[in-house]
């Protein structure tokens, strides 16, 4: 389903499935719902609510290009599960598009070679987007925000059983990440930002790497009221940056709790 030429569509109460090559392949096509497309100089808008979307090849719902927008709510989006063929994304908002992404259940986006990551919800150079009350499970990375608008918020989501990170912010500034839970993932929340992302009231439990993680190029990020536990092969709280903040780091750690931290003292 493709919304183009500045058009608008209401896409509700459908079962959208088998949008893929036969046999299933690694070609970068197979988008179940596509609203706008930068490469084709197309824009669109839409309401994508209460659908069941599955067995797609590259993407479940994609909103792409500046001036494209969508309200994406209450959908069940199921990838094909672990595959060696393609890194798929359940919901994608990209290249200047904006969206409200709320109350969706997104699962089964896993690229087994592990050289790149599939995602439950991908923001790629998106405009201001709200991601709220979504349930994400069994994806490589549950929510990945790359070069996202400073007006973006990621609030009250649950990320469970990711093979990589629960929530990752990469090369973004001023993204607000509040009241999320990240459970039983390889990493809870990874931050690759350079400036001013906010991470408040999150939880990361039973991880096998790091619960909350700031990379060395992350700075001016605020971790607040976060809790991590059960990290097996890493730290509940880890910050690899250097600066004038707490424990000599470039980020702010406020009232965060966890049994282990690197450096010591950023969480308690």
Q: Is the pLDDT of residue 170 over 60?
A: yes
- The most confident of 63-77, 152-166, 228-242, by mean pLDDT: 63-77
Residues 6 or more apart whose Cβ sits within 8 Å of residue 179: 155, 156, 200, 201, 202
On the question of pLDDT at 166 being above 80, the answer is no
Sign for the CA dihedral angle at 172, 173, 179, 184 comes to: positive
In this structure, of 68-77, 115-124, 165-174, 200-209, the range with the lowest mean pLDDT score is 200-209
Q: Does residue 202 sit in helix, strand or coil?
A: coil
For residues 14 and 73, give the distance between their C-alpha atoms in angstroms, rounded to a whole number.
Answer: 13
Tell me the two tokens of residue 243: 């600066």
Higher-scoring residue by pLDDT: 244, 248: 248
SS3 211: coil
- CATH superfamily for 2-262 is Single-stranded right-handed beta-helix, Pectin lyase-like (2.160.20.10)
Alpha helices in 5-112 (DSSP H): none
User: Taking the model in full, what pTM does it have?
Assistant: 0.85
Does the pLDDT at position 30 exceed 60? yes
pLDDT of 190 strictly over 60: no
pLDDT of residue 89: 98
Q: Residue for token digits 């629960």? A: 166
* Range name among 24-33, 63-72, 146-155, 187-196 with the lowest pLDDT average: 187-196
Q: If you average pLDDT over residues 144-160, what whole number do you get?
A: 85
Domains of the chain, by residue range, sit at 2-262
Q: CA–CA separation, 194 vs 215, rounded Å?
A: 9
- What pLDDT is recorded for position 208? 47
Q: How many helices (H) and strands (E) does the chain have?
A: 0, 30
Q: Return the pLDDT at 51.
A: 98
Most confident option among 58-62, 113-117, 132-136, 217-221: 58-62
């Amino acid at each position: 389903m493709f919304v183009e030429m500045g058009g608008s569509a209401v896409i509700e109460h459908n079962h959208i499935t088998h949008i893929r090559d036969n046999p299933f392949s690694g070609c970068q096509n197979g988008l179940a719902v596509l609203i706008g497309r930068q490469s084709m100089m197309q824009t669109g808008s839409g309401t994508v609510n209460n659908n069941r979307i599955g067995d797609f090849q590259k993407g479940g719902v994609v909103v792409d290009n500046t001036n494209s927008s969508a309200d994406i709510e209450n959908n069940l989006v199921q990838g094909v599960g672990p595959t060696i063929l393609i890194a798929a994304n359940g919901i994608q908002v990209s290249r200047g598009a904006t969206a409200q992404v709320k109350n969706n259940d997104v699962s089964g986006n896993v690229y087994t070679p592990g050289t790149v990551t599939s995602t439950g919800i991908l923001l790629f150079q998106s405009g201001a987007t709200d991601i709220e009350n979504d349930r994400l499970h069994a994806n490589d990375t549950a929510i990945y925000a790359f070069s996202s608008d400073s007006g973006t918020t990621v609030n009250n989501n649950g990320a469970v059983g990711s093979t990589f990170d629960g929530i990752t912010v990469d090369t973004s500034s001023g993204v607000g990440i509040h009241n999320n839970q990240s459970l039983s993932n390889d990493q809870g929340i990874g931050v690759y930002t350079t400036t001013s992302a906010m991470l408040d009231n999150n939880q990361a439990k039973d991880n096998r790497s790091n619960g909350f993680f700031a990379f060395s190029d992350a700075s001016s990020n605020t971790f607040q009221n976060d809790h991590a536990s059960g990290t097996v092969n890493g730290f509940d709280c880890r910050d690899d940056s250097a600066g004038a903040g707490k424990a000599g780091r470039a980020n702010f750690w406020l009232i965060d709790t966890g049994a282990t931290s690197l450096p010591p003292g950023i969480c308690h």
